[in-house]
Copies of this chain bind each other. A is one copy, B any other.
Amino acid sequence: MDSHLHNPLSASGTDGREERGDRTAQALLESARSAFAVHGFAGASVRDIAGDAGVNPSLVRYHFGSKEGLYRRVLDSAMEGLRERLLAAAAQPGAPRQRIHRVIGLYLEHLASQRDIPRLIQRALLNREPYLRELVSNYLQPLLQALKPFIATPLHPRLGSLEDVIISMFGAIIAPFLYEPLLVDLFDRDVLSERALEKRRRHIEALVDLTLDELLHHPGA
């Protein structure tokens, strides 16, 4: 069926020269990432994506096989390199708390530099796409295993299990990116400006410290 269909964006194989096909595939990827983030997979049309990229719609099939193939590549490219950077940050020397702060800071930085990512992942979550299992096993599971020994702790009398704490911190980290349009209306100020995000990073750091202190020393009952 799909006879040739050479995989594009092959990191420009032998030499560093960028080929013609690579450029159009890259343009399609960028337009698609934005379109899928804004309108979702079902809401974004191949024609619109190609139009935005200034390219013929049929090239989607040529370069990516199908709309779904393009979508997969968008998700992959959005996550590219993150796994290695996160694990490296977790493995770097330092006190456990410093490592955790580094990982969180890196993740916040990644979200801030690629604003489409939270929405892409959130849409994948809402649609319960099978891609999520990869995301879990590739990113979250290794990260959890790398960080868990630092905070191995029995049940806390009030905070409960470590899982609950992780869920809360994860929700708190992602919140401003996901609820931005709502928060702008509620607080009447930009929550994704560079200033706000740096403020946010310090807040998360404090919140993590607060819960870690409570979790590790659990003084109160």
Contacts and interface: CB of A to CB of B under 8 A. Distances in A.
A119 interface: yes
A168 B41 CA distance: 29
A173 to B, nearest CB: 8
A145 to B, nearest CB: 11
B170 A179 contact: yes
Q: For the complex formed by this chain, how many copies does it contain in all?
A: 2
Interface-central residue, A41, A158, A200, by most chain B CB under 10 Å:
A158
Say which size band chain A's interface belongs to: 35 or more
Contact of A207 (B39, B186, B211): B211
A111 interface: no
Nearest to A205: B158
Interface in A131-159: 132-133, 135-137, 140-141, 144, 156, 158-159
Interface-central residue, A135, A179, A199, by most chain B CB under 10 Å:
A179
A95 interface: no
A161 B186 CA distance: 14
Interface string A153-196: 00010111101110111111111101101110111000100000
A128 interface: yes
Given A132-B181, A214-B210, A204 B168 contact: yes
A181 B203 CA distance: 28
A122 interface: yes
Given A171-B175, A174-B171, A203-B159, A181 B125 contact: yes
Contact of A167 (B144, B179, B214): B179
Contacts of A40: 40, 42-43, 126-127
Given A123-B126, A167-B176, A171-B172, 13 more contacts: A40-B42, A40-B127, A122-B126, A125-B181, A136-B186, A137-B185, A159-B210, A167-B172, A167-B175, A170-B179, A171-B173, A171-B178, A206-B214
| Shortest beta-carbon contacts, A-B, top 4 | A171-B175, A168-B172, A158-B206, A42-B43
